[in-house]
Amino acid sequence: MTTAAHDPFGDARIGTLDAASDSDKQGLKSELLNLQRRIRAIFELAPIAISVTDGDAIVFANRACAALFGAGRREDLMGRSIYTLLSPESQIGVRHIIAQALAHQDQVPTVSERVHRLDGSVREVEIAVAALPDHGQTAMQMVITDVTDRNQESAQLKQSRRELRRLSAGLVEAREEERLRIARELHDELGQRLTALKMELSSLAAQAPAARPRIDAMIEMVDETVASVRRIATDLRPLMLDDLGLTPAIEWLVRESSRRMGIDFTLHVDEIDAIVDPPTAIAVYRMIQEGITNIARHARATSACIRLEREGTGLLLTVQDNGCGFTAQSMHRDGSHGLMGIRERARMLGGQMKVVNAPEGGGRIQVHLPFARVGRQQAGSPGDPAAATLLPEPS
């Protein structure tokens, strides 16, 4: 262990003032000493830990540095090797940046390391170093920032985000299951009862010709109710998505949307039904549904194009319109959760969403969903490589 032979805030060149004239010497010395005291005071009161080492021995530590290392007095750190206060795995990194600083490299990186306090506890820190050229080739200034609390808060925030995303995914799955259950009950139970009611009314009309006009009106009301039930059930969960697959469901959605909204939709879908599992299919369907709703509510468009394509080992969904495009405010509009829903569904599948204004005008939503080939075979096709299913990569 080495010790300092001089004050780190002193200046070896003070002695050269002897060469100055007698009238200036005392004044210059006084000014330099005052400047040294001011610099020392600045270092002493700095809220960030600052130390100065000569060789590897600490020759100066401010109050914040003493507090960081848990020293009751700054003198408790004097003469200690800085490396004894570092965790073993951190010593190599600190030696490396000190060597860079002593070699007068222009950009010496800040390193994230761990230090041992005098009470044995460990703190996570960021260390920046700079050589002190006026004090030979061994003096080094260190600025040490305690980032333990910040790192813990960051880790807790990341964990909280992961838990919220898991909760969100669970809520989305539960909502889709509930929608499916309600849609099937509407379609099967209520639909069957309305059909039976229509048959009874038709039978009654044959038995009571005088009441035929009123019965026909009731039959018409039943037909309208059946149509409403089917529309509500389909909006909740298109049963054709489970019965026929993703492509027919998207085609129906686009056709009905074009009819109801008066927007000219163009659709292009690659052959993907055989490689998309049910959770991905419903997520893609909902993203397209949200994209169409966004166009109808905000875009003021007359035409739009929807493309669902295989791209490498994934899927690329593009929803583009010729409307007014996206503004900065539209991305964060209160009460508007369509784009947020698309982004979160994409993240649940390990994908990403990008929203841009197309060069030719209008807005464009692009969603890329990565896939990983797994060895699960479809039922009835044992050992057939073509029957392997593409499942979303875990996020």
- What are the tens digits of pLDDT across the range 330-385? 655 655 577 888 988 898 888 999 988 887 778 899 999 987 533 333 333 333 33
Same domain, yes or no: 166 and 137: no
User: What pLDDT shows up at residue 390?
Assistant: 38
Q: Which of the four pLDDT bands, split at 50, 70 and 90, describes residue 3?
A: very low
Residues 220 and 252 in one domain: no
Above 70 in pLDDT, residue 131? yes
Domain end among 131, 146, 161:
146
In a shared domain, residues 141 and 153: no
Same domain for 313 and 273: yes
Check residue 240 and give its pLDDT. 83
- Same structural domain for residues 207 and 134? no
Residue 3 lies in a domain: no
Last residue of a domain, one of 195, 212, 237: 237
Are residues 101 and 16 part of one domain? yes
Same domain? For 253 and 390 the reply is yes
Q: How many domains does the chain have?
A: 3
Is the alpha carbon torsion for 275, 278, 283, 285 positive or negative? positive
In a domain, 168, yes or no: yes
CATH of residue 64: 3.30.450.20
At residue 211, does pLDDT exceed 80? yes
Region 39-52: what's the mean pLDDT? 84
Residue 216 domain boundaries: 149-237
Q: Say yes or no to pLDDT of 303 above 50.
A: yes
Residue 6 lies in a domain: no
pLDDT in tens, 135-194: 567 788 899 999 999 999 999 999 998 898 888 888 888 888 888 888 888 888 888 899
Look at residues 91, 121, 126 and name the one whose alpha carbon lies nearest to residue 109: 126
Residue 305 in any domain: the answer is yes
**Averaged pLDDT, 272-288:** 86
